[in-house]
Chains A and B, each alone.
Chain A
Amino acid sequence: GAVVSQHPSWVICKSGTSVKIECRSLDFQATTMFWYRQFPKQSLMLMATSNEGSKATYEQGVEKDKFLINHASLTLSTLTVTSAHPEDSSFYICSARQGVLAKNIQYFGAGTRLSVL
């Protein structure tokens, strides 16, 4: 299957700082990318959907000013957690898909574990 690379895999930061997470599709062009968040013992929750060159669409309850998403190219999307606080500590996972058809496969990165002190 296609490869989605996510970096870093683990990050620890102080409260009030910003953290950027990168997501790259290595062997295909990702028209659409997704960002998920997962708390311990819970399922993945979709945060936002982004399409190359346009603004991200955020799910209800997700603060767009706190979670900045940039999908600058067909192979790169970034998620910036601004002014991080301990409650933002979570497992963040990106996903990428080529095209918008329902039959197209969505591939996932390995995830980034964020710990805010």
Chain B
Amino acid sequence: DAKTTQPTSMDCAEGRAANLPCNHSTISGNEYVYWYRQIHSQGPQYIIHGLKNNETNEMASLIITEDRKSSTLILPHATLRDTAVYYCIVRGWTDSWGKLQFGAGTQVVVTP
């Protein structure tokens, strides 16, 4: 699976949009981009995923560039409960069983 690069940390103001970037320049055509987050001492929580089109759900929006080499997760109105480590993961089915491999992620801190 392609590797991803994320900033180590980000600070966001409560109530503002949080834009989390992710680079995946070696992504291949059948690989999806997944976003998860992990709040301290809990299991990861699924946020959103996409292949090439932009996606939106009740939690966030995912913007994937046309060349698919990068993406941005948007939390439209950050709250204090959004403080977590956010993981951008690329997964395809070329790897056996389509395993999710976690990188270091981005530590997002939402401040009042």
Contact = CB atoms under 8 A, between A and B. Distances in A.
A34 B99 CA distance: 8
B102 to A, nearest CB: 4
Nearest to B38: A44
B49 A44 contact: no
Interface of A: 1, 4, 6, 32, 34, 36, 43-46, 49, 51, 57, 91, 93, 95, 97, 100-111, 113
How many chain B residues sit at the interface, stated as a range, is 20 to 34
B79 to A, nearest CB: 19
A111 B39 CA distance: 12
B100 A106 contact: yes
B103 interface: yes
12 contacts: A34-B99, A44-B44, A51-B97, A57-B96, A57-B97, A100-B97, A102-B30, A105-B46, A105-B49, A108-B36, A108-B44, A109-B43
B32 A103 contact: yes
A107 B42 CA distance: 13
